[in-house]
Amino acid sequence: MNLDNIENLTKTIRYWIIKSTTSAGSGHPTSCLSAVDFVTVLFTKYFNFNLDYPDNIYNDRLLFSKGHASPLLYTLWALAGAFNREKLLRLRKQDSVLEGHPTFRFKFAEAATGSLGQGLSVGLGMALALKRLDSNNSAKVYVLLGDSELAEGQNWEAFAWAGHNKTDNLIALIDLNRLGQRGETMLGWNLNQIKQQISGFGWETVAVEDGHNIELIDNIFKENLLNQQTRPLAIIFKTIKGKGVSFLENKNNWHGKALIQEQFKQAVQELQPIDKTLSIKLNQPKKTKEPRFSHNKITACFYFQKQPESTATRSIYGKTLNFLAEFNNNLVALDAEVSNSTYSQDFAKHNPDKFYEMYIAEQNMVSTATGLQRFGFKPFVSTFSAFFTRAFDQIRMAQYSKADIIFVGTHAGTAIGEDGASQMGLEDIAMFKTILNSTILYPADIVSAEKLIEKAYSLKGIVYIRLTRNNTPIIYSPEEEFNIPGFKQHGNKDADFLIISAGITLHESLKAQTTLKAENIDTLVIDLYSIKPLPQDLNKYLKQAKLVLVVEDHYKHAGIYSSIQEAFPSKKIKQLAVDRLPHSAKPDENLAYHKIDAKNIVKTIKEHIRLSSLDSKER
């Protein structure tokens, strides 16, 4: 397509953007219009994609981090023949996959975007994945960023990591249109400052003074895209928000507003002549190949005999990944510079080519994992459980990308001891519970930890595994099976008193059970290692017990107790949990302070017996 034809095509694209958003009665047409010219040149002349094989690993990829510009994305694919362009008029309708911000429902959206600042990290993961699939792969990942979202720190995490690691197939396209939602952005049209900032992170950076000059844009792309890159590339285009429609151009208070019919007619008149029949013929990549991986479901508790009597569940994590990676070549691991605490270092040592040190940048780490799994890789992502909270938005967005990611949080709860409140994961179960169709697993010893990590590999969606820092006794044999959902029972199945716990407090519950047994008080202790989904047959034991006591090293709201009450509401279910701010102390002191230790479990049950006895006498 020659440059004159591209000039005409940009009018066609602008027409469909304003028509689709006017039809929808909502949207962000001005944010689309500013990016039309340079994105159209890229898509028509330099972008390689085989529509018949959308999963082809040699296809280039285009990701809109500024997801509110989705009408531009949809229009490009419609004019390329991916779907009937008349469907653009179903934008934002309930029966349409063309949502206000892209999600996995639209086949050609690489990831769910629109929570600003995440797209570059996702693109980074995709770029890494394409090189993993073929180290000589020339396919590129293009990420369109808005200038407002450059205020998000996650972008700079991604710039830093990609620059440090010379991710040369990642290209950032920045739409510098000056205006955000409520006015001018932090740096406005300051091209040079943004160029210097990005260059400082090790990127090749180009500033374009006129992001609407088709010939200039073409020359920039020709000069920078057709030569072999050795570093990631950022091209910053100075543009005008609302470009092409005079009453929208560089005007404030038009962000997120669609035109009414009279304004639409005026805009169309300004865009004339418009050739509504124009289409895009995509360049074809030279090769075609879809991702293929080998899988072999093997389970073996082969570390059991070699371990000391008391071992932390986190200690088995990296070793289990080594075992899984022997039989499943899509497994990769990411860690946030705590691998010597999460024990992912054991995996890094034996599988350095499958391990990504992401440094202390959890948001970038999570979104990079989302990009990696886009092509079939299975990421295990580890850090302290407390630090996943800072990446909750990235985890939340991963679900809208239909991502398969396993998150492993160590150092959970007050039991970590002296490190103090900032390091204690006390909100993590609540956080992951809110993710649709998530799985939450909390093993109590290294046998169950290994088995559940192996099970997690085969699960779909978001999986969270909670591991402890503290050494705990081995209570299960290698022959034990751990089904999901499921639980384990300890003690008298017909006991009047039922104690439900998981992880560190399971061991406190078992200690309490021994103490109570010596006083002829029978209990049944349930190891609820599968917190979500909850096993339905748990209800049988809840019904028959006179008292149900849930003990957990987690804040009292939205943890294990809440899950049980939501599924099987009952007044006889009581809770021992963290209900005040924790502080530095020895692990045993913390458990006692928060009344989630064996002594307080015994005290609670005996107090219940005493009060029941008094109540019986009064009756």
Any idea what DSSP says for residue 402? T
Mean pLDDT of 367-391: 97
What's the rounded Cα separation, in Å, for the pair 570 and 582? Answer: 29
pLDDT, residue 307, reads 61
How many CA atoms, within 13 angstroms, populate the side-chain half-sphere of residue 32? 30
Any idea what DSSP says for residue 613? H
pLDDT, residue 510, reads 98
Preceding amide of 533 cis, omega within 30: yes
Q: Residue 526 corresponds to which tokens in the numbers above?
A: 């349930």
Q: Is it the case that residue 72 has pLDDT exceeding 90?
A: yes
Q: Residue 417 corresponds to which tokens in the numbers above?
A: 């001891």
The one-letter code for the residue type at 510 is: L
pLDDT, residue 310, reads 85
pLDDT, residue 227, reads 86
What's the rounded Cα separation, in Å, for the pair 264 and 552? Answer: 59
pLDDT, residue 295, reads 76
Strands 204-208 and 61-64: unpaired
What's the rounded Cα separation, in Å, for the pair 173 and 62? Answer: 10
Which residues 6+ apart lie within 8 Å of 88 measured at CB?
Answer: 16, 19, 20, 71, 74, 75, 78, 98
What's the rounded Cα separation, in Å, for the pair 248 and 252? Answer: 8
pLDDT, residue 303, reads 53
Q: Is it the case that residue 297 has pLDDT exceeding 70?
A: no
pLDDT tens by residue, 20-43: 999 999 999 999 999 999 999 999
Closest CA to 279 of 54, 76, 88, 46: 76
Q: Which residues pair with 505 in a beta bridge?
A: none
Q: Is it the case that residue 54 has pLDDT exceeding 90?
A: yes
Any idea what DSSP says for residue 274? -
The one-letter code for the residue type at 442 is: Y
Mean pLDDT of 206-233: 96
Q: Residue 536 corresponds to which tokens in the numbers above?
A: 């339905």
3-class secondary-structure state, position 252: coil
Q: Is it the case that residue 298 has pLDDT exceeding 90?
A: no
What's the rounded Cα separation, in Å, for the pair 593 and 440? Answer: 26
pLDDT tens by residue, 400-451: 999 999 999 999 999 999 999 999 999 999 999 999 999 999 999 999 999 9
Q: Is it the case that residue 256 has pLDDT exceeding 90?
A: yes
pLDDT tens by residue, 473-512: 999 998 899 999 999 999 999 999 999 999 999 999 999 9
Q: Which residues pair with 233 in a beta bridge?
A: 171, 204
Mean pLDDT of 247-252: 96
Closest CA to 76 of 144, 20, 149, 16: 16
Annotated active-site residue in 149, 157, 362, 454: 362
In terms of phi and psi (left: phi > 0; alpha: psi -120 to 50; beta: otherwise), the region of 335 is: beta
Tell the burial category of 496 from Cβ atoms under 10 Å away from its Cβ (0-12, 13-18, 19+): middle
Closest CA to 334 of 165, 197, 166: 165
479 given a catalytic annotation? no
pLDDT, residue 301, reads 62
Q: Is it the case that residue 131 has pLDDT exceeding 90?
A: yes
Percent of the chain residues topping a pLDDT of 90: 94
Q: What is the mean pLDDT of the chain?
A: 95
Q: Is it the case that residue 305 has pLDDT exceeding 60?
A: no
pLDDT, residue 172, reads 98
pLDDT, residue 302, reads 58
SS3 for 62-78, per residue?
A: EEECCHHHHHHHHHHHH
What's the rounded Cα separation, in Å, for the pair 176 and 187? Answer: 9
What domains sit in the chain, N to C, each tagged with a CATH number?
Answer: 3-271 (3.40.50.970), 304-473 (3.40.50.970), 488-618 (3.40.50.920)
Percent of the chain residues topping a pLDDT of 70: 97
Closest CA to 114 of 130, 92, 94: 92
Find out whether 7 and 19 touch, Cβ atoms under 8 Å: no
Closest CA to 508 of 601, 607, 603, 413: 601
Mean pLDDT of 314-335: 95
Q: Indicate the length of the chain as a whole number.
A: 619
Q: In the structure, what pLDDT confidence band is assigned to residue 293 with cuts at 50, 70 and 90?
A: confident
